[in-house]
Structure 1
Amino acid sequence: MISVIIVFIIFSGVILYNINRMTNILCIQKEIPEERHPKIFRTINIYITILLISSYIEILFT
């Protein structure tokens, strides 16, 4: 059980890092103004966190 939690936390960190990196590249390519970057990052991070939590719950109860 503990090993599943540790692996999932590491996996989640890698996923969040890659999503933020791709979001930054998107903001640069689409020339989105700097003042909108925090809102975009916050929204995407909330959505990804919800997805990661729901997938952890699904793994936990299957």
Structure 2
Amino acid sequence: MIILVTVLFSIFYLFQINKMTYALCEVREIPEEKQPKIYQTVNILITILIISFFVEIMTAIS
């Protein structure tokens, strides 16, 4: 059950971060050429954060 909640939270969190990244690109008027690089960097960093959170939860359960 905890794993399911963690996965659902992670998906929701990733979508929210992408919405905020989009808003940042719009407000700062970042050129279209640079936006994919920004999204890639943000998504990789958030994925690392989510994986480390998942590992921490799994070690706490065990």
| Residue 5 (structure 1) aligns with | 3
Normalized against structure 1, the TM-score is what?
0.93
Provide the rounded CA distance (Å) in 1 between the counterparts of 2:45 and 2:53: 12
Name the amino acid aligned to 1:6: L
1:22 aligns with 2:20: yes
Q: Give matches, 1:1-62, under 5 Å.
A: 3-62=1-60
Q: TM-score of the superposition, structure 2-length normalised?
A: 0.93
Q: Distance in 1 between matches of 2:52 and 2:14?
A: 15
Letter in 1 for 2:41: T
Deviating runs (4+, > 3 A) in structure 1? Answer: none
Unaligned runs of 5+ in 2: none
